[in-house]
């Protein structure tokens, strides 16, 4: 009769219902950085590794989706799926592109899984177009990572809306379920989304604020932001990984092993990460960039009202962000003076305390006549 | 785990290692098995090992996986070993079997010259063959088969237009004992009920596996026609699963044995061959979703429903069959096809019938009747669960409660228990351990990999329904003890 205590058949869905996961990859395509890396890992090889990684992610299940963005020196570009803007209506999420019968390109090889081939062509053509359109004027040493992050976040949001249990509109008479829905969506996500940034350049201090805005948005939406860096030190992305609970790995020591790093460290989605020990960062560079000159600072001034960071005292001690007049207290005074004074007082009291107390007690005790 | 993966994994598990070695020669097969048969953690482990130059140390695995997830890890490793995906090189390390590793790498990289993802046809496809057409076609073929099985129960179907499945399919159903010939007429067996109550994807697999077994029997008798071989057939199924829906593929590039399989697949409705052109074939949704997970399957039925809507121009019905089950044992089913209604009538008392809706009760009598016919309570419950209405899913998700009302589920089980009080499991009894520690370790391991069906700690005995993994575990344990 133990069979009918029924406690075991309620969690039977744990295996069957694999939550689909959406992997968004942001590739840093800074030409200068890739040129510096060229002798160890040309970009073509890196892209090949990423494609294998993308395929491995898609192989986990039919529902898994992928989106690839390029963060270039002056803009962020969709590599896959195709950008929604030029051809308006036919925008679909990953898999739907071929499921809904958009004319598939003929001539894919029989040795490739059709979906893989499609993604590969899309990424390669878009990337080529991007490289061709780059002129010498665009050769900044840094990359606009924040734009790519923002696009990725909006794409994730859009996709997760599509994964909400649909058809709320079919029963307008029943608004309670719709309300219950929104509350449930935060508790049990029906889509595991994550962002992986392949970084090759340093963080641009000028982008501190937009990057951090994106990071906090990701953290709020519980989207882990993973970063693998091949070159340079992306300070802000390191903080991003820390804040959002993602993984930060530096492959700068051995860029040729990119695929192994990816397959071992970054393939697990939120479900699998629950049972795996993630690589940790021994030290996180928490330095922020100031709001006035966009410099990375170790020690700075923080507005007590809006928490803006400044490298020096702003003009007239007025916060540049919220306009509050800030009192600087004894800023600039020699700090050593105050404790010495107190110490002296204390010592004096200790010295004189014996007699004082004695006299006190002597006067306080009534003497019998 | 859905019923379909169960039947398939049972079939795969009893295959010998050599068969697996040959199966894994095809990248599409390795890929499909990876995708369909493995739990999530196992997939992650395989992927981590895929590009590893050296064998994976077990101690490293222990470090990588959190101690809280030990159970999942043991389960994953057990499944990987039973499918011959990993092998143990030394007692302390393991690696992927060479064929699997090579094939999965090829599948991901898209290189090689194996043609295992189907050769697309270069000829232009006829314009009238689109996805809706293929869906309609597959649906009709499959419904014919189901009607044939259902009609044997005696619930007459109103659709007399179709002339039923081909003789070969009928033979297969008879041979697989889904239906039996009883004095002139046909009658359904318990296996037949199981078949009916499964979801479409599981039904396809059941039929395919029946076909495989039939081919095996033929081979064993030496009466093999055109050398159909179960390994090759199986890998062809996996190939079909990786094709793209709505696209024409070339039949000429297929080897002779596979060409001979095509007519039967047409009979099942898995592929479509245009009447005028036998050099092309189109996989239908039944074929391309063979290795899909359950969420996609729901979209399959939606796709079918959409194809159906195209027929009747009735856009109000979205789901093929959607059942709402209330705690007061009332059931409302949004169904159109007489087939679905006949299936519902197997285990419920239908009271009202409207256009597109039937309602009824689950009663003790109706469940008893179903149980007497050989349907089990689990089958009924899984049928109700897999056909639950979207609204049921939504409410269950928002209130964090089970999908079906527990009171009804328990009552269905209790009603069944009224009739049968014994449960037979085949397996092995482990007893007379040397000491209690040995018993506890082995029993816990067996429990972790999920094969223990009964245990008694006081007597130091337990009963397991599978023994291979336990044997290995005992052997390594013994060795480890000797080493001390």
Residues B31 and B71 in one domain: yes
Residues A33 and A43 in one domain: yes
Task: Judge: A110–B35 Cβ closer than 8 Å, yes or no.
Answer: no
Asked whether residue B118 is assigned to any structural domain, the reply reads: no
Residues B444 and B331 in one domain: no
Residues A81 and A121 in one domain: yes
Last residue of a domain, one of B393, B419, B445: B419
The mean per-residue pLDDT over the stretch A215-228 comes to 91
3-class secondary-structure state, position A19: coil
Asked whether residue B121 is assigned to any structural domain, the reply reads: no
Total domains present in chain A:
2
Q: What is the dihedral of CA A105, A111, A114, A115, to 10 degrees?
A: -120
Measured between CA atoms, the residue of chain B closest to residue A269 is B44
Lowest mean pLDDT among A159-163, A211-215, B65-69, B296-300: B296-300
DSSP A255: G
Measured between CA atoms, the residue of chain B closest to residue A53 is B108
pLDDT, position A4: 42
> Which residues lie closer than 8 Å to B88 by C-beta, 6 or more apart?
B94
Whether B76 and B45 have beta carbons less than 8 Å apart is answered as yes
Task: Judge: B41–A104 Cβ closer than 8 Å, yes or no.
Answer: no
Residues B233 and B84 in one domain: no
Asked whether residue B212 is assigned to any structural domain, the reply reads: yes
d(CA A212, CA B357): 54
Locate B359 and state its tokens: 């309602």
CA angle A243, A248, A249 (to 5 degrees): 170
Q: What are phi and psi of A287, to 5 degrees?
A: -65, 145
CA distance readout (Å), A62 to A262, B12, B398: 21, 22, 25
The mean per-residue pLDDT over the stretch B353-369 comes to 89
Q: Single out the residue of B73, B278, B265 nearest to residue B166, CA to CA.
A: B265
Whether residue A195 has pLDDT greater than 90:
yes
- CATH value at residue A31: 3.40.50.410
d(CA B348, CA B330): 9
Residues B436 and B470 in one domain: yes
Locate B382 and state its tokens: 């899984």
Residues within 8 A of B (CB atoms), A 188-247 only = 188, 190
Asked whether residue B298 is assigned to any structural domain, the reply reads: no
Neighboring chain B residues of A171 at a CB cutoff of 8 Å: 391
Residues A84 and A226 in one domain: yes
d(CA A230, CA B70): 34
Residues A109 and A244 in one domain: yes
Q: What are phi and psi of B98, to 5 degrees?
A: -55, -45
Residues B160 and B54 in one domain: no
Lowest mean pLDDT among A327-341, B443-457, B462-476: A327-341
> Which residues lie closer than 8 Å to B67 by C-beta, 6 or more apart?
none
Residues B160 and B279 in one domain: yes
Task: Judge: A114–B246 Cβ closer than 8 Å, yes or no.
Answer: no
Residues A122 and A256 in one domain: yes
Measured between CA atoms, the residue of chain A closest to residue B415 is A4
3-class secondary-structure state, position B89: strand
d(CA A24, CA B442): 44
pLDDT, position A359: 46
Residues B232-265 pLDDT 10s: 888 888 888 888 777 788 888 788 888 888 888 8
Q: Single out the residue of B240, B284, B245, B285 nearest to residue B258, CA to CA.
A: B240
Residues A213 and A302 in one domain: no
Whether residue A188 has pLDDT greater than 80:
no
Residues B45-91 pLDDT 10s: 999 888 888 888 888 888 888 888 888 888 888 888 888 888 888 88
pLDDT, position A26: 93
Q: Which domain holds residue A314?
A: 287-342
Task: Judge: B110–A167 Cβ closer than 8 Å, yes or no.
Answer: no
Lowest mean pLDDT among B118-122, B349-353, B357-361: B118-122
**A68 confidence band (pLDDT: 50, 70, 90):** very high
Asked whether residue A351 is assigned to any structural domain, the reply reads: no
Q: What are phi and psi of B404, to 5 degrees?
A: -95, 150
Residues A127 and A268 in one domain: yes
pLDDT, position B184: 62
d(CA B227, CA A215): 61
Lowest mean pLDDT among A185-189, B52-56, B174-178, B255-259: A185-189
Residues A142 and A155 in one domain: yes
- Tokens 């020196």 label which residue? A73
Last residue of a domain, one of B419, B436, B458: B419
Residues B176 and B144 in one domain: yes
**B360 confidence band (pLDDT: 50, 70, 90):** very high
**B169 confidence band (pLDDT: 50, 70, 90):** confident
The mean per-residue pLDDT over the stretch B208-226 comes to 74
Minimum distance, in Å, between the CA of residue B196 and any CA atom of chain A:
20
Please check whether residue B396 touches A, CB under 8 A: no
Lowest mean pLDDT among A43-47, B62-66, B269-273, B300-304: B300-304
Last residue of a domain, one of B384, B419, B454: B419
Q: Single out the residue of A40, A42, A35, A25 nearest to residue A252, CA to CA.
A: A40
d(CA B54, CA B70): 24
CA atoms within a 13 Å half-sphere pointing along the CA-CB vector of A302: 9
Whether residue A162 has pLDDT greater than 60:
yes
Residues A338 and A232 in one domain: no
Residue B330 pairs in a beta bridge with B361
Neighboring chain B residues of A16 at a CB cutoff of 8 Å: 1-2, 293-294
Asked whether residue A354 is assigned to any structural domain, the reply reads: no
Residues B27 and B55 in one domain: yes
Asked whether residue A6 is assigned to any structural domain, the reply reads: no
Neighbours of B435 (CB within 10 A): 8
Residues B449 and B379 in one domain: no
More confident residue, A1 or A202: A202
Residues B275 and B364 in one domain: no
pLDDT, position A218: 92
Lowest mean pLDDT among A355-364, B113-122, B140-149, B235-244: A355-364
**Average pLDDT, whole number, for chain B?**
79
Q: Which domain holds residue B405?
A: 306-419
Whether B62 and B70 have beta carbons less than 8 Å apart is answered as no
Measured between CA atoms, the residue of chain B closest to residue A115 is B244
Residues A294-313 pLDDT 10s: 888 888 888 888 888 888 88
**Average pLDDT, whole number, for chain A?**
74
Total domains present in chain B:
4
Lowest mean pLDDT among A86-90, A143-147, A277-281, B376-380: A86-90
Asked whether residue A308 is assigned to any structural domain, the reply reads: yes
Residues A316 and A233 in one domain: no
Asked whether residue B117 is assigned to any structural domain, the reply reads: no
**A170 confidence band (pLDDT: 50, 70, 90):** very low
More confident residue, B110 or A3: B110
Please check whether residue B407 touches A, CB under 8 A: no
Asked whether residue A20 is assigned to any structural domain, the reply reads: yes
Whether B280 and B273 have beta carbons less than 8 Å apart is answered as yes
pLDDT, position A366: 55
Report the b/e string of B131-155 with b at 16+ CB within 10 A.
bbbbbbbbbebbbbbbbbbbbbbee
pLDDT, position A368: 58
Surface-to-core class of residue B157, CB atoms within 10 Å of its CB (0-12 exposed, 13-18 middle, 19+ buried) = middle
Residues A145 and A292 in one domain: no
Asked whether residue B119 is assigned to any structural domain, the reply reads: no
Whether residue A176 has pLDDT greater than 50:
no
**A356 confidence band (pLDDT: 50, 70, 90):** very low
Whether B224 and B218 have beta carbons less than 8 Å apart is answered as yes
CA atoms within a 13 Å half-sphere pointing along the CA-CB vector of A328: 14
Asked whether residue B204 is assigned to any structural domain, the reply reads: yes
Whether residue A88 has pLDDT greater than 60:
no
Asked whether residue A10 is assigned to any structural domain, the reply reads: no
Whether residue B161 has pLDDT greater than 60:
no
Q: What are phi and psi of B407, to 5 degrees?
A: -65, -40
Asked whether residue A337 is assigned to any structural domain, the reply reads: yes
Question: Cα B323 vs. chain centroid, distance in angstroms?
Answer: 22
Whether B103 and B26 have beta carbons less than 8 Å apart is answered as yes
Whether residue A357 has pLDDT greater than 80:
no
Whether residue A2 has pLDDT greater than 60:
no
Neighboring chain A residues of B397 at a CB cutoff of 8 Å: 165, 181, 184, 188, 190
To test the contact with chain A by mutation, choose from B293, B379, B380 the residue with the greatest count of A C-beta atoms within 10 A, namely: B293
Last residue of a domain, one of A266, A285, A304: A285
Sign for the CA dihedral angle at B335, B338, B342, B345 comes to positive
Neighboring chain B residues of A189 at a CB cutoff of 8 Å: none
**A339 confidence band (pLDDT: 50, 70, 90):** low
pLDDT, position A84: 62
Q: What are phi and psi of A276, to 5 degrees?
A: -115, 150
Residues B168 and B66 in one domain: no
Q: Single out the residue of B165, B184, B161 nearest to residue B173, CA to CA.
A: B165
More confident residue, A164 or A174: A164
Residues A176 and A305 in one domain: no
Lowest mean pLDDT among B54-58, B103-107, B181-185, B446-450: B181-185
Residues A96-155 pLDDT 10s: 333 333 334 444 566 777 788 888 888 888 888 888 888 887 777 778 888 999 999 999
pLDDT, position B459: 86
Residues B311-357 pLDDT 10s: 433 333 334 568 899 889 999 998 877 777 878 888 899 998 888 88
Residues B183 and B238 in one domain: yes
The mean per-residue pLDDT over the stretch A33-55 comes to 89
DSSP H or E run through A301? strand A301-302
Asked whether residue B268 is assigned to any structural domain, the reply reads: yes
């Amino acid at each position: 009769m133990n069979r009918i205590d029924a406690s075991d058949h309620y969690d039977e869905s744990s295996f069957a219902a694999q939550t689909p996961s959406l992997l968004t990859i942001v590739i840093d395509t800074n030409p200068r950085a890739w040129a510096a890396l060229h002798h160890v890992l040309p970009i073509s090889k890196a892209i090949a590794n990423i494609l294998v990684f993308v395929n491995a992610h898609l192989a986990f299940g039919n529902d898994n989706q992928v989106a690839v963005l390029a963060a270039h020196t002056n803009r962020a570009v969709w590599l896959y799926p195709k950008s929604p803007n030029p051809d308006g209506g036919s925008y679909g999420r990953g898999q739907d592109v071929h499921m809904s019968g958009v004319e598939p390109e003929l001539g894919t090889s029989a040795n490739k899984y059709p979906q893989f081939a499609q993604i590969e062509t899309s990424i390669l053509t878009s990337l080529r177009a991007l490289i061709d359109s780059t002129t010498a004027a665009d050769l900044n040493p840094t990359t606009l990572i924040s734009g790519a992050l923002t696009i990725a976040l909006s794409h994730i949001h859009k996709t997760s809306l599509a994964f909400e249990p649909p058809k709320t509109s079919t029963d307008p008479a029943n608004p309670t379920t719709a309300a219950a829905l929104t509350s449930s969506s935060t508790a049990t996500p029906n889509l595991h989304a994550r962002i992986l940034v392949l970084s090759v350049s340093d963080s641009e201090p000028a982008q501190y604020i937009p990057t951090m805005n994106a990071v906090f948005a990701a953290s709020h939406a519980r989207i882990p932001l993973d970063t693998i860096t091949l070159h340079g030190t992306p300070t802000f992305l390191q903080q991003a990984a820390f804040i959002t609970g993602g993984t930060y790995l530096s492959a700068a020591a051995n860029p040729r092993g990119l695929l192994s790093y990816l397959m071992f460290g970054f393939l697990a989605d939120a479900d699998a990460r629950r049972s795996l020990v993630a690589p940790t960062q021994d030290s996180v560079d928490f330095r922020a960039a100031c709001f006035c000159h966009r410099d990375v600072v170790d020690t700075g001034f923080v507005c007590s009202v809006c928490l803006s960071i400044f490298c020096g005292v702003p003009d007239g001690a007025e916060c540049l962000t919220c306009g509050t007049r800030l009192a600087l207290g004894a800023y600039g005074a020699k700090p050593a003076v105050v404790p010495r004074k107190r110490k002296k007082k204390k010592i004096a009291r200790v010295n004189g305390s014996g007699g004082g107390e004695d006299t006190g007690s002597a006067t306080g005790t009534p003497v019998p006549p | 785990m859905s019923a379909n993966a169960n039947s398939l994994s049972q079939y795969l598990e009893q295959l010998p290692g050599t068969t697996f070695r040959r199966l894994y020669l095809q990248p599409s097969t390795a890929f499909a098995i990876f995708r369909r048969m493995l739990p999530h953690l196992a997939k992650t482990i395989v992927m981590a090992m895929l590009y590893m130059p050296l064998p994976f140390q077990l101690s490293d695995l222990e470090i990588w996986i959190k101690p809280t997830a030990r159970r999942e890890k043991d389960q994953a490793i057990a499944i990987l070993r039973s499918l011959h995906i990993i092998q143990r090189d030394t007692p302390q390390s393991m690696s992927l079997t060479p064929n699997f590793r090579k094939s999965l790498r090829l599948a991901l990289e898209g290189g090689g010259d194996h043609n295992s993802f189907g050769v697309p046809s270069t000829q232009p496809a006829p314009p009238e063959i689109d996805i809706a057409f293929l869906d309609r076609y597959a649906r009709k073929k499959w419904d014919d088969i189901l009607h044939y099985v259902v009609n044997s129960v005696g619930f007459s179907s109103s659709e007399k237009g179709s002339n039923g499945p081909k003789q070969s399919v009928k033979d297969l159903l008879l041979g697989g004992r889904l239906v039996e010939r009883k004095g002139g007429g046909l009658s359904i067996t318990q296996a037949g009920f199981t078949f009916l109550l499964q979801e479409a994807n599981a039904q396809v697999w059941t039929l395919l596996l029946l076909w495989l077994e039939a081919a095996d029997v033929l081979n064993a008798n030496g009466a093999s026609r055109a050398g159909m071989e179960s390994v090759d057939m199986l890998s062809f199924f996996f190939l079909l699963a990786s094709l793209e829906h709505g696209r024409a593929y070339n039949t000429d590039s297929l080897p002779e044995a596979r060409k001979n399989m095509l007519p039967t697949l047409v009979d099942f409705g898995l592929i479509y061959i245009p009447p005028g052109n036998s050099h092309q074939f189109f996989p239908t949704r039944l074929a391309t979703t063979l290795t899909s997970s359950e969420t996609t399957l729901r979209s399959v039925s939606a796709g079918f429903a959409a194809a159906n809507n195209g027929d009747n121009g009735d856009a109000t019905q979205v789901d093929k069959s959607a059942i709402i089950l209330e705690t007061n044992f009332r059931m409302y089913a949004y169904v159109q096809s007489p087939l679905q209604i006949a299936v519902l009538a197997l285990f419920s008392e239908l009271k009202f019938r409207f256009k597109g809706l039937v309602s009824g009760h689950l009663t003790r009598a109706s469940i008893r009747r179903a149980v007497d016919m050989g349907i089990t309570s689990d089958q009924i419950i899984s049928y109700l669960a897999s056909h639950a209405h979207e609204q049921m899913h939504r409410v269950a998700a928002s209130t964090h409660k089970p999908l079906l009302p527990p009171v009804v589920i328990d009552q269905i089980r209790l009603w069944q228990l009224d009739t049968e009080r014994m449960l037979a499991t085949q397996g092995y009894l482990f007893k007379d351990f040397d000491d209690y520690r040995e018993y506890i370790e082995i029993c816990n391991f067996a429990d972790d990999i999920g094969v223990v069906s009964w245990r008694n700690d006081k007597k130091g005995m337990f009963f397991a329904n599978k023994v291979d993994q336990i044997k290995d575990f005992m052997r390594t344990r013994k060795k480890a003890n000797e080493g001390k």
